[in-house]
Amino acid sequence: MNTAARVLVVEDDDTLREALCDTIEFGGYRALSAVDGREALDRMERDPVDMIISDVQMDGMDGHHLLREVRSRRPEMPFVMITAHGSVRDAVNAMRDGATDYLLKPFEAEVLLDMVARMETPLTEPVSMVAEDPKTREICELAQRVASADATVLISGESGCGKEVLARMIHEQSTRKDKPFLAVNCAAIPENMLESMLFGYEKGAYTGAHQSRAGKFEQANGGTLLLDEVSEMELSLQAKLLRVLQEREVERLGGSKLIPLDVRVLATTNRTLEVEVREGRFREDLYYRLNVFPMHLPPLRERRGDILPLATRFLAHYAPRRGMSFSAAAEARLRAHDWRGNARELENCVQRAAILCQGTVVDAHDLTLLGDRPAEPEGSGEATAAPALEGDLKQREQELILQALASSKGSRKAAAEYLGISARTLRYKLARLREQGVDLPNGA
C-alpha cells in the first residue's frame, strides 16, 4: 500500500497550482488539488488528506476562511498558508488563526518540499504488512529477526510491490521505533534538490536558501532513514552518500561543521544492483556498504495469496463508510490478473471500482484492469474522438520511449536527449510505465 503523505494544494491560479502539484509529486508525495476553499472542503470529504497548502487570496472562499473551517473539522491537520512576499500581516493573521506555518512567494522548490517534509504527520500506528501468502510470511519473519539488529538492510523488488511498507515494518519492530522514520524517494527528486534534502543546507548556500535547514539525515537522528529506490541516485551524489555512511557524520551544504549521526539506514531498489555495478551505474563500494543484509520481496503475481486480502484492505480504505465487499466473480478476476504494477496497480484498480460501483458489492464488471479494451460505443461521433485520440497518443508516447531506450541500450540520459526531453521528465514517465506493468529494457 502506498503510504506517501497526501497533500491538498488549494490555489486558483491554474499554472501555479499545477507547478506546486508537480513539485510535490516529484518529492515522492501524493498531490491533490482544489481551486478554492469550498472545493477543498468537498475534496476532503471524498479523499484522505494528510496536509493542506493553501493560497490566501482566492475568489469564493479564501485561505483564511478555509483555515477556520479546517480547524473546526480537523484541528490536528497541518496547514501551510502561502502569502505574497512582504505580506507580513497575512502571515501573522494566518498563524494567529491556527496555521502550522507559512510560505512567502516567491519560493524555491526545495523550500516547498522541505516544508512538506517537516509537516508530514509522523508514523504513530504500527505498520502491518498483508502476509497471507507463505512467501510473504517468510519475508515478514525474516524482517522481525533483522529488526532487532542495527544492520543496514537492502530491500530489492519490483516497483510497487511493497518495499517501503516492509521497511516501515522493520523500523516499527526495532529498538528505534519511538524515534523518527523518514523516507526519501531518490527516483523522483532531481540531483541538486536531493543533495540539499539529504544533507541540509546553511542560509545562503544557494539562491533561495533564505534560512538554514536540517537535512533528512539530521532529522532522522536516533531513528531510521529509508533511501527509496537508491539505485536511481546519480554517481556524483553516491560518492557523497558513501562518505556520510562511512564517517557517520554529515556536513550541510555551505557549512563547515560536522554533525555526528546515529541513524539506521534502509534502502530499496527495483533494479539488480550487481548488474548496475557491473555496468558502471552504481558504485561498488556503496553497494557493499548498503548490502549488509539483503532481502528480496517477490512481485504480487508470485504471492497470489496476498491479492484478495490487499484488495479488501484497499476497498475499506477508499470506501470506509459503505461496507463494500467483492462478489465471487470479482474475486476470481482479481486472483487471475498478473498485476504487473503490483500492489500499486491493485490499489488503483480498487479505487476505481469503489467509484464505479453503484451498490455495496463490487462485481467483475466494476473492475477496470490494465489490458482491458472497453466496448466500442454506438456511433463514431465527435464525443468519442477525444478519448480515442488520447489513448492513441499515450500508446505512441510509450512506443517512442521504448524505442529510444532500445536504441540507447538502456541509457536514460541518451534516451532523454533523443526524445528532446529532460532526464527528470523521462524518469517520471518511466516510473509511470513501471506502475502500469510495462516491461522496460534492462538498465532503464
Asked if residues 323 and 276 have their Cβ atoms less than 8 Å apart, the reply is: no
Per-residue model confidence as pLDDT tens digits over 219-272: 899 999 999 999 999 999 999 999 999 999 999 999 999 999 999 999 999 999
Mean pLDDT score, 340-350: 89
pLDDT of residue 239: 96
The larger pLDDT score, comparing residue 390 to residue 226, is at 226
Domain region containing 93: 6-119
Per-residue model confidence as pLDDT tens digits over 30-86: 899 999 999 999 998 888 888 999 998 888 898 989 998 988 888 778 899 888 755
Which of the listed residues 247, 270, 296 is the one where a domain comes to its end? 296
pLDDT of residue 392: 56
Mean pLDDT score, 328-342: 94
User: Domain with 430 in it: what CATH number?
Assistant: 1.10.10
pLDDT of residue 435: 65
Structure-block grid coordinates of residue 219: 532529522
Report the mean per-residue pLDDT for the chain: 84
Of 152, 56, 146, nearest to 105 by C-alpha is 56
Mean pLDDT score, 200-215: 78
Query: Quick check: 388 pLDDT over 50?
Result: no
pLDDT of residue 399: 81
Q: Percentage of the chain surpassing pLDDT 70?
A: 85
pLDDT of residue 123: 44
Asked if residues 179 and 188 have their Cβ atoms less than 8 Å apart, the reply is: no
Same domain (yes/no): 261, 288: yes
Of 406, 397, 399, 403, nearest to 425 by C-alpha is 397
Per-residue model confidence as pLDDT tens digits over 250-264: 999 999 999 999 999
Burial 413-442 (b: 16+ CB within 10 A, else e): eebbebbeeeeeebbbbbbebbbbbeeeee
User: Domain with 265 in it: what CATH number?
Assistant: 3.40.50.300
Query: Quick check: 125 pLDDT over 90?
Result: no
Same domain (yes/no): 59, 109: yes
Same domain (yes/no): 20, 156: no
Does residue 47 lie within any of the structural domains? yes
Does residue 375 lie within any of the structural domains? no
Q: What contacts 24+ positions apart, CB below 8 Å, involve 281-288?
A: 281/231, 281/235, 281/443, 282/231, 282/235, 282/238, 283/235, 283/238, 283/239, 283/242, 285/242, 286/238, 286/239, 286/241, 286/242, 286/245
pLDDT of residue 394: 66
Q: How many CB atoms lie within 10 A of CB 340?
A: 20
Number of domains in the chain: 4
Confidence of residue 441 (pLDDT cuts 50, 70, 90): confident
Does residue 34 lie within any of the structural domains? yes
Q: How far is CA 37 from CA 10, 59, 196, in A?
A: 7, 9, 33
- Residues 6+ positions from 307 with CB-CB distance below 8 Å: 300, 334, 335, 339, 346
Same domain (yes/no): 279, 146: yes
Same domain (yes/no): 149, 248: yes
pLDDT of residue 312: 95
Same domain (yes/no): 280, 176: yes
Does residue 376 lie within any of the structural domains? no
For 395, the enclosing helix (H) or strand (E) is helix 385-407
Same domain (yes/no): 85, 142: no
What residues form DSSP beta bridges with 10?
A: 34, 54
Does residue 125 lie within any of the structural domains? no
Which of the listed residues 249, 280, 296 is the one where a domain comes to its end? 296
Same domain (yes/no): 289, 308: no
Q: Is the whole model's pTM more than 0.85, yes or no?
A: no
Per-residue model confidence as pLDDT tens digits over 356-386: 888 899 999 999 886 654 434 344 444 444 4
Does residue 348 lie within any of the structural domains? yes
Going by their DSSP bridges, the two strands 30-34 and 51-55 should be labelled as unpaired
User: Domain with 45 in it: what CATH number?
Assistant: 3.40.50.2300
The whole-angstrom separation of Cα 247 and Cα 118 is 26
CA atoms within 13 A on the CB side of 420: 2
The whole-angstrom separation of Cα 153 and Cα 142 is 11
- Residues 6+ positions from 151 with CB-CB distance below 8 Å: 292, 293
Per-residue model confidence as pLDDT tens digits over 128-186: 789 999 999 999 999 999 999 999 999 999 988 999 999 999 999 999 999 999 988 88
Which of the listed residues 119, 147, 166 is the one where a domain comes to its end? 119
Confidence of residue 426 (pLDDT cuts 50, 70, 90): confident
Q: What is the 3-state composition of the chain as percent helix, strand, coil, each rounded to the nearest 5? A: 50, 15, 40
Amino acid at 58: M
Same domain (yes/no): 31, 100: yes
User: Domain with 326 in it: what CATH number?
Assistant: 1.10.8.60
Confidence of residue 88 (pLDDT cuts 50, 70, 90): low
Does residue 127 lie within any of the structural domains? no
Same domain (yes/no): 102, 139: no
Q: Percentage of the chain surpassing pLDDT 90?
A: 45
Same domain (yes/no): 281, 149: yes
Same domain (yes/no): 203, 71: no
pLDDT of residue 430: 81
Confidence of residue 124 (pLDDT cuts 50, 70, 90): very low
Query: Quick check: 308 pLDDT over 90?
Result: yes
pLDDT of residue 385: 42
Does residue 104 lie within any of the structural domains? yes
